[in-house]
């Protein structure tokens, strides 16, 4: 009897995992991996992507303080 209850519990757990697709352990691994990646992603954003966007903006304005758009006249 007790053995049957355990088997049913295992089957139910397996069915639940099949429905959701991702187990708790896999979700935790995903969160931990994002936690370890976040400093390097923040560094790439801070030291590469943001300055790149600012440079593109500066290329199309005459004076960055006044923000007078001149388009391709700077080229």
pLDDT in tens, the chain (75 residues): 556 767 666 676 666 656 667 788 888 888 899 999 999 999 999 999 999 999 999 999 998 888 899 988 988
SS3 (DSSP) at 68: coil
Task: For the full predicted model, state whether its pTM sits above 0.75.
Answer: no
Residue 51 is predicted with a pLDDT of 96
Residue 39 is predicted with a pLDDT of 96
Residue 21 is predicted with a pLDDT of 74
Q: C-alpha dihedral over 25, 2, 19, 26, to 10 degrees?
A: 10
Residue 50 is predicted with a pLDDT of 94
């Amino acid at each position: 009897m007790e053995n049957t209850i355990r088997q049913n519990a295992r089957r139910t757990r397996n069915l639940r995992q099949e429905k959701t697709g991702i187990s708790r352990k896999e979700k935790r691994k995903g969160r931990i991996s994002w936690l370890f990646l976040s400093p390097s992603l923040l560094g790439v954003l801070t030291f590469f992507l943001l300055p790149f966007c600012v440079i593109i903006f500066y290329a199309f304005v005459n004076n960055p303080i006044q923000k007078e758009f001149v388009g391709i006249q700077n080229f």
